[in-house]
Amino acid sequence: MKNLIECIPNISEGRRAEVVSAVQGAALSAAPGVLLLDSTSDSDHNRSVFTFLGDAPSLLAAMTALVGAAIERIDLRSHTGAHPRIGAVDVIPFVPIRGSTTAECVALAKELGAVLGERFGLPVFLYEDAAQAEERRNLATIRKGEFEGLEAKMAGPGWIPDFGPATPHPSAGATVVGARTFLVAYNINLGTSDKTIADRIAKTIRHLSGGYRYVKAMGVFLEDRKLAQVSINMTNFEKTPLHRVFETVRSEAERHGVSIVGSEIVGLVPQAALLAAAEHYLRLEAEPSGQVLENKLLDLAFQEEE
């Protein structure tokens, strides 16, 4: 298990279980060496997030098959959901895990981008560490205007894709592919149904409006629970930790007379992100990861393989 890369495709389908299952299955059968670590569907967002683990050649095959299966089944012209998106397969990031590098992930992103453009006539934008221009690093910038605004956006200046045709795929839009560090998706649920409060709190914590450097956030209304949610992407949990963002959200919510009723991590999270919270709140004088029993085991396991 060397040169391990994590790959987290986000597809614009979180309601039709049979579609989610077909897309997931296509990836797995195309590359038996690829492992599915997690699969999470959200019907409010109408979006599913898969976490795959594998080496570069296996992930290339798996993602090609996944995109093929998704564009056959997902038509963005009739898609609704709380989460912004420009594509049936909205974004495919590669993340270096153990024994692999950012450079390998960037190379893999470019390889996949070329295949998707050629085989499916899908425009592909490279982002984050794979971006070929500084203004394309940011996913939100690429996604701004969403699927509905994509045709006009690509017709204007500066949005020729890195791979594929210069116009959107009619039903599948475009796909953003890239390499980045581990992203923690973290949502905080408020004791109110007033989405404007979640919007205002999101503004206070996100980088774009003067908040934390490694935070992206927006307000969302959860139909099923009738709750407002601050939906957060933590793009560097080491430099901007979860507990700091949580405390700021708590303080801002209080100012509106609202409490935090819960929070959720979507998908996987590195142990360090949660240990940092325990360390903070318990006021531990030493970083505890070296004392965690399971880490001794992990060390042993990977030592033995080398």
How far is the C-alpha of 174 from the C-alpha of 97, rounded, in Å?
A: 27
Judged by CB under 8 A, the stretch of 16-24, 74-82, 204-212, 292-300 that binds a second copy is 292-300
Our answer to whether residue 83 is catalytic in this structure is: yes
**Residues near 145 by beta carbon (within 8 Å), at least 6 away in sequence:** 86, 152, 153
State whether the Cα torsion 234-116-96-41 is positive or negative: positive
* Interface with a second copy, residue 1, by CB under 8 A: yes
Residue 94: which of 215, 25, 176 has the closest Cα?
Answer: 176
Nearer Cβ to a second copy, position 195 or 243?
Answer: 243
How far is the C-alpha of 211 from the C-alpha of 217, rounded, in Å?
A: 10
> Which position among 83, 207, 243, 256 bears the catalytic label?
83
Minimum CB separation of residue 260 from a second copy in Å reads 6
188 and 230 Cβ atoms separated by less than 8 Å: yes
Between 172 and 201, how does the x/- string for binding to a second copy read (CB under 8 A)? ----------x------x------------
Please identify which residue in 2, 29, 38, 193 interacts with a second copy, judged by CB under 8 A: 38
- Burial grade of 77 (CB within 10 A; 0-12, 13-18, 19 or more): exposed
State whether the Cα torsion 157-154-182-1 is positive or negative: negative
Nearer Cβ to a second copy, position 138 or 263?
Answer: 263
Q: What is the dihedral of CA 195, 200, 204, 210, to 10 degrees?
A: 120
Please identify which residue in 25, 81, 84, 267 interacts with a second copy, judged by CB under 8 A: 267
Judged by CB under 8 A, the stretch of 142-150, 193-201, 210-218, 281-289 that binds a second copy is 281-289
Residue 100, CB-side half-sphere exposure with 13 Å CA sphere: 26
Please identify which residue in 2, 98, 213, 255 interacts with a second copy, judged by CB under 8 A: 98
* Interface with a second copy, residue 297, by CB under 8 A: yes
3-class DSSP state for residue 139?
A: helix
Between 47 and 76, how does the x/- string for binding to a second copy read (CB under 8 A)? ------x-----------------------
Binding site for a second copy (CB under 8 A): 1, 4, 6, 35, 37-38, 53, 97-98, 182, 189, 242-243, 246, 260-265, 267-271, 274-275, 277-286, 288, 291-298, 300-302, 304-305
Enumerate the active-site residues: 83
